[in-house]
Structure 1
Amino acid sequence: MKEISYSSAGHHLNDSGAIGVNGRKEAVETIQFRDLVNAQLKMLGKTVVQDKDSETLGQYLGRINPTYKDVLVEPHFNAFNGKATGVEVLIADNANDRSKKMAKELVDGFAKIMGIANRGVKTESQSARGRLALMRKKGAVALIEICFIDNPNDMKAYDKNKVNLACFAAQIIAKYDLN
């Protein structure tokens, strides 16, 4: 079996992340999505390295040692004002070509599947945080902001399509894995 590092859920159970429609927590949503994607990856014959639900991102990143052949993807949900919409994918400022191509396929596919705005591929310096620890790892690396957790229409599109999104994400991750 080949190994892929499918990254953390972005938040752990003691770090709820953004709070959205009807009190939905980013941590819960990203853990569920991570698990859906990882189940699909396993069906594709991949061995998955993932975070633990109570593990911080720092603990997870300190534990893994991906190579340039691996793929690291971290799901998140944006939040702003309840009206902002769309999917975007973040990559390192100095991202390699594999990361750029993978991110473009992910953002285009997610936007199409959900029928929401495509906010494009952005570099980490264009993000609200400026620097993202995940981007310091080797391999094809991307952080997916799936949609806006505080936008009811985005979340409706996500809920309707999350299994299809997970299947698509797994196919893209497997495509860019060089193991």
Structure 2
Amino acid sequence: MTVLTEQQHNLQAVCAHANESGAHIFVSLHFNAFNGRAGGTETLVGRSAAAVLLGHAVQARVQQVLQLPDRGIKERPDLYVLRATRMPAILVETCFIDNDADLRRYEGREDACAHAVADGICQYGDAAGFRV
């Protein structure tokens, strides 16, 4: 028997919804946090080549807008949402919310950041051969 926490139930529900939706991709937007000094933008991806391609496209666009240190793409196949979804999946860590400089850079650029994610998705769609 497996006992699941509330967070695990929520993640299962999110992934089940994504898998049942017919979506071509899964993009999860987050803020990072560590020690108040770490900073930058990074995108976490699973192992698939498609997820890596999607991750690179979105990471480049978000990094252009925020101009924070580029922490790059990191493979994290252990993350539940990246392994339990059946489509290319990424988790974008927009900035470090506990870093004042990162947060100041993000504030006022929320819409531009959202557009950057959308542009990266469109770039991936063009490369992957489907219309977004």
Query: Quick check: TM above 0.5?
Result: yes
Q: What residue in structure 2 maps to residue 98 of structure 1?
A: 50
Q: What residue in structure 2 maps to residue 113 of structure 1?
A: 65
- 2:80 is aligned, of 133, 141, 148, to 133
Quick check: 1:149 aligned with 2:103?
no
Q: CA deviation at 1:56?
A: 1.9
Number of aligned residues: 120
Q: What residue in structure 2 maps to residue 62 of structure 1?
A: 16
- 2:27 is aligned, of 39, 63, 73, to 73
Alignment check: 8 A CA contact 2:61 2:120 kept:
no
- 1:165 is aligned, of 102, 109, 113, to 113
Unmatched segments (≥5 aa) in structure 2: 1-5
Q: CA deviation at 1:113?
A: 0.9
Alignment check: 8 A CA contact 2:24 2:88 kept:
yes
The structure with the greater share of residues assigned to helix is: 2
Q: CA distance change for structure 1 residues 68 and 120 in 2, over 3 Å: closer, same or farther?
A: farther
Alignment check: 8 A CA contact 1:66 1:139 kept:
no
Q: CA distance change for structure 1 residues 173 and 82 in 2, over 3 Å: closer, same or farther?
A: same
Q: Which amino acid is the alignment partner of residue 111 of structure 1?
A: Q
**Identical aligned residues as a percent:** 27
Q: CA deviation at 1:157?
A: 1.0
Q: CA deviation at 1:100?
A: 1.1
Matches within 5 A, 1:25-44: none
Q: Distance in 2 between matches of 1:115 and 1:64?
A: 31
Q: CA deviation at 1:176?
A: 3.1
| Other structure's SS at 1:73 match | strand
Write out per-residue CA displacement over residues 42-85 of structure 1, whole angstroms, 9 at most, x where no aligned residue: xxxxxxxxxxxxx8222221233268970100011111111111
| Other structure's SS at 1:56 match | helix
What is the TM-score when the length of structure 1 is the normalising length? 0.59
Q: Distance in 2 between matches of 1:116 and 1:103?
A: 17
Q: What residue in structure 1 maps to residue 3 of structure 2?
A: none
What is the TM-score when the length of structure 2 is the normalising length? 0.78
